[in-house]
Structure 1
């Protein structure tokens, strides 16, 4: 009995170490990491057994093997004496019956041309001699309403306070918008950026691209509109779409876990990139009932009635996030800000034109 008590007290702690520490290793070292962890765990058990059995090595060796085997089910197999095995089919059936039983996938796919035309045709061209701001919003995970709501709030802020009215478009994955707003898919993002590129004065104007979704440790942005099968978005995809559209001046804001991993692929002298988290950190606020993620709220919930300065406002948002996470005892997400050398001067021109043409361009949305 003493052996079982020790086994079930100590080994789960060792398993916890493996779950927290090993995923942080690079992929090329992961197998070696698990091997070293297994050997280390065995010797911990062997040492404890030696102390309990008065240094009888053979018995200690057998007990160590028994300990590791006995605790494996504790963390890997949902035995009924611990809890009832969860039936995922019941949740999926409820999801399907409640909301998706009417979804005609073919209709959804074939409606994209019409929906894209509806939102892209009204886009106004940039004015020669003025640094205009264009906005593209991309909320791509339908599993939680927060991404849909955040994109809507950000678009309204861009139109009303940053002069993007008439030059903004959003793509959203959500059942509530599936008949009225184009899908936030990789293909639709490419089409939208191509159209924006054709409307802007490419040497003058700036595009602000705002992406909000779940992010993976492999640095991909989740694109989810179940039961449709859509491709996730990689940083290389975003760069290719912007390059192909001829969009030179870029402000890219990414609200997603691990989004700092997008910076290396996207950075250049003509870009500003702000991410909600470092490459190895999670961000917060992506719950169904929220209006914003923490990142989106810090940036856009309350834009003050004063001349907008991008780098200053973005830096203030980073500090707001840091303070909020600290007050809630959360692991810091460590937002990342990159500003290209040429982009610093372009932002000054954009900010000047936003003030100069305020009466004309800042009409309420």
Structure 2
């Protein structure tokens, strides 16, 4: 099967520094190679296939070292304190996702008192090579495994933010022309179950991400998706600073001293207003909050910063103005 995700816009203009003038973020120039077989063309996607094609061995080693440093720096949990561990990952090399994951890491770390317990996995933000470990299915799995090692799985919480393109079969991993894969609902469910991570805030920014609601919902999970299982979301052009969902949920609602569910309500209303004004088909972001979530969310939200922070970057809706 070949799954093609079209580039929706050119990469952001490069900064005027000499280093930036020579750098260009990876672009998708080739379609996905055949990875799976079967009469339906999608047999084998549930386990989450990943393919690296032609990637430099030196680049792989350098990235492995960056990932090792980031994971080894995670601080252990504090006894008698409900700690949050934040993982923010951009699974596509389009710079909008790299920019969004970086800022999401900052916002979520501040909100959930997770300084020293935050990992950001992302490619280039568009002007320079990435200083971070790359976002991939492998690096995400390793980050989750490391979090499971250092957290108290009975009391602590995983806060996972993913941002990428999506398809009706899952979230896409697509790194230039070198990395391809699918994070399916069953694969993410299996990872979290294997690692014993039960207390979790899952915020999934991708088209069709509502397909994760059924498999990932649980009494101890707060789950938020950018769209329903049959709808695309918007704002994922490569030169944007934010997707619609990331801008509303991370850049606005979660910067405020307000409960998580109220923040989600605000974000969904904001997205609805933007889509209505642009005459876009509603993306229908989904929410599932389990009955036991309050037991660990309450102590976390009691430590929320009292002051709000202002939004950063260009609003996601600027793309509508640029296109008239």
Q: Above 0.5 in TM-score?
A: yes
Q: What root-mean-square deviation, in Å, do the aligned CA atoms of Structure 1 and Structure 2 show?
A: 2.7
Structure 1 segment 282-297 matched on structure 2, within 5 A: 282-297=232-247
Higher alpha-carbon Rg: 1
Contact (CA 8 Å) 2:253, 2:263: kept in 1 or not?
A: no
Question: Residue 114 of structure 1 corresponds to which residue in structure 2?
Answer: 65
1:312-347 deviation digits (Å, cap 9, x = unpaired): 111111111111111111110000000111113332
SS in 2 for 1:146: helix
1:208-253 deviation digits (Å, cap 9, x = unpaired): 10011010122x1111113323322111111122222221101111
Unaligned ranges ≥5, structure 2: 1-9, 11-22, 28-53, 310-324
Question: Residue 166 of structure 1 corresponds to which residue in structure 2?
Answer: 116
> Alpha carbons of 1:247 and 1:176: their partners in 2 closer, same or farther (altered >3 Å)?
farther
SS in 1 for 2:171: coil
Q: TM-score, normalized by length of structure 1?
A: 0.66
Question: Residue 236 of structure 1 corresponds to which residue in structure 2?
Answer: 186
1:184 aligns with 2:126: no
Structure 1 segment 67-146 matched on structure 2, within 5 A: 105-142=56-93, 144-146=94-96
Question: Residue 151 of structure 1 corresponds to which residue in structure 2?
Answer: 101
Unaligned ranges ≥5, structure 1: 1-90, 92-96
Q: By how many angstroms is 1:100 displaced?
A: 6.3
> Alpha carbons of 1:276 and 1:127: their partners in 2 closer, same or farther (altered >3 Å)?
same
Question: Residue 51 of structure 2 corresponds to which residue in structure 1?
Answer: none
Question: Residue 246 of structure 1 corresponds to which residue in structure 2?
Answer: 196
| Aligned with 1:307 (options 257, 267, 286) | 257
Question: Residue 227 of structure 2 corresponds to which residue in structure 1?
Answer: 277
| Aligned with 2:152 (options 195, 201, 207) | 201
Q: By how many angstroms is 1:299 displaced?
A: 1.2
SS in 2 for 1:230: strand
Q: Could you tell me how far apart the structure 2 residues matched to 1:307 and 1:98 are? A: 38
User: Of the two structures, which has the highest relative contact order with CA contacts closer than 8 Å and spacing of 6 or more?
Assistant: 2
Q: Which shows bigger deviation, 345-354 or 331-340?
A: 345-354
Greater strand percent: which structure?
2
Contact (CA 8 Å) 1:138, 1:170: kept in 2 or not?
A: yes
Q: TM-score, normalized by length of structure 2?
A: 0.73
Question: Residue 94 of structure 1 corresponds to which residue in structure 2?
Answer: none
Contact (CA 8 Å) 2:253, 2:267: kept in 1 or not?
A: no
Query: What is the number of residues matched between the two proteins?
Result: 260
> Alpha carbons of 1:132 and 1:354: their partners in 2 closer, same or farther (altered >3 Å)?
farther
Greater helix percent: which structure?
1
SS in 1 for 2:223: strand
Q: By how many angstroms is 1:110 displaced?
A: 2.5
Q: Could you tell me how far apart the structure 2 residues matched to 1:200 and 1:158 are? A: 17
> Alpha carbons of 1:325 and 1:106: their partners in 2 closer, same or farther (altered >3 Å)?
same
Contact (CA 8 Å) 2:253, 2:266: kept in 1 or not?
A: no
| Aligned with 2:212 (options 256, 259, 262) | 262
Q: Could you tell me how far apart the structure 2 residues matched to 1:179 and 1:146 are? A: 13
